[in-house]
Amino acid sequence: MTAAKTRARSGGRGRPSKATGLDLKETILDSAEGLFARHGFHGVTTRQVASEAGVDTALIHYYFGAKRELFDAVFLRRADILNQARSVSMNAYVETFGPRMTVEGVITAFIDPLLRISQEGGGGWKSYFALVAQVNNTPAWGGETMARFFDPVVHQLVDTLKIVRPDAEYRDLYWCYQFLTGSMMLALSETGRIDSLSEGLCHSSDLEAVRARLFAYCAAGFEAVVARSGKA
């Protein structure tokens, strides 16, 4: 705990490039990220993380404290980048299209940053998305964790959708988001199930195929729910 507090050390100095200090911290986070994504929080031991990072077990506690704090550090590292990318994307869409916004446009602005990052951001991001998908489906502490990190940008999505369809009820918007996030996270986590299910016809790593379908799918579903609610 005292060790964890020292993480806010003077970080401005220019250092020679050796695998030490902050570099090692990132290495630990990378290993933890991959392992947590594959096996879940309880399926990974600090010793496994240390071993894969090429580091002593005690060093993990020195940098991060308890195991759960390490997990949170993994989760937090990319959450900010993610939230900012989505927020920027949605704001840009709103400013560019103004009154000509569409439901599919808003949803695209919300989802596409994640697809782009997963495709271009390096291998760590794929692990990260698999991790988030798992947390998203964990009843015990998943909901709370997701809320803590991702609620604001979701509210931004819902509010923007409300602008596009002012007659839509918030209840419907929230349920549609629930459906959307289930599809989106499963697609991003690339579990490989669609590969065997489709007998090689589809590949879960083919995010271009996801892009070509998911936006239209969610948008049409959203419109249908709103229309049905307005009619009933």
Rule CB under 7 A: which residues touch DNA? 1, 6, 9, 15-16, 18, 20-21, 24, 44-48, 55-59, 61-62, 65-68
Q: Binding string, 33-62, against a copy of itself, x = CB under 8 A?
A: ----xxxxxxx-------------------
Cα–Cα distance measured from residue 130 to residue 74, given in angstroms and rounded to the nearest whole number: 13
Work out which of 103, 133, 164, 207 binds a copy of itself, going by CB under 8 A. Answer: 133
Terminal-to-terminal C-alpha distance of the chain: 56
Closest CA to 74 of 11, 31, 13, 42: 31
Q: Binding string, 167-206, against a copy of itself, x = CB under 8 A?
A: ---xxx-xxxxxxxxxxxxxx-xxxxxx-xxx--xx-x--
Pick from a copy of itself, DNA, none: which does 24 bind, CB < 5 to 8 A by kind?
Answer: DNA
Q: Which of residues 67-96 bind a copy of itself (CB under 8 A)?
A: none
Q: Within the chain, how many helices (H) and strands (E) appear?
A: 11, 0
Decide whether 92 or 197 has the Cβ nearer to a copy of itself: 197
> Which three-class secondary structure state does DSSP give residue 189?
helix
CB of 62 to a copy of itself, least distance (A): 25
Closest CA to 129 of 187, 168, 175, 80: 187
Cα–Cα distance measured from residue 222 to residue 227, given in angstroms and rounded to the nearest whole number: 9
Cα–Cα distance measured from residue 142 to residue 160, given in angstroms and rounded to the nearest whole number: 26
DSSP 42: T
Residues within the interface to a copy of itself (CB under 8 A): 37-43, 130, 133-134, 136-140, 142-144, 146-147, 151, 154-155, 170-172, 174-187, 189-194, 196-198, 201-202, 204, 209-210, 212-214, 216-225, 228
